[in-house]
A = this chain, B = another copy of it.
Amino acid sequence: MEGNLNTVAYGLAAIGPGIGLGIMIGQTQAAMARQPEMAGQLRTNMFIGIGFIEVLALLGLVVGYIVPA
């Protein structure tokens, strides 16, 4: 069997953030439709959330360098 086990770590690490970002951005869309005058503040908050959630997946790319071989 070829390949590197570290790539499987990225695959697993992408599951949660993929679902989480979908839920979070979806709720932002619903909130924007409900209160259009809050759209700016909701978008700011959305980008804060994207930052915190996306980093979990991107750390999966570099975890192979962090963990000693």
Contacts and interface: CB of A to CB of B under 8 A. Distances in A.
Interface of A: 1-39, 41-43, 45-46, 48-50, 52-54, 56-57, 59-61, 63-64, 66-69
A19 B17 CA distance: 6
A21 B46 CA distance: 12
Contacts of A37: 36
A45 B18 contact: no
A45 B38 CA distance: 14
Contact of A6 (B3, B30, B35, B50): B3
A41 B9 CA distance: 36
For the complex of A and B, list the 3 residue pairs with the smallest distance between their C-beta atoms, beginning with the closest: A16-B18, A20-B22, A3-B5
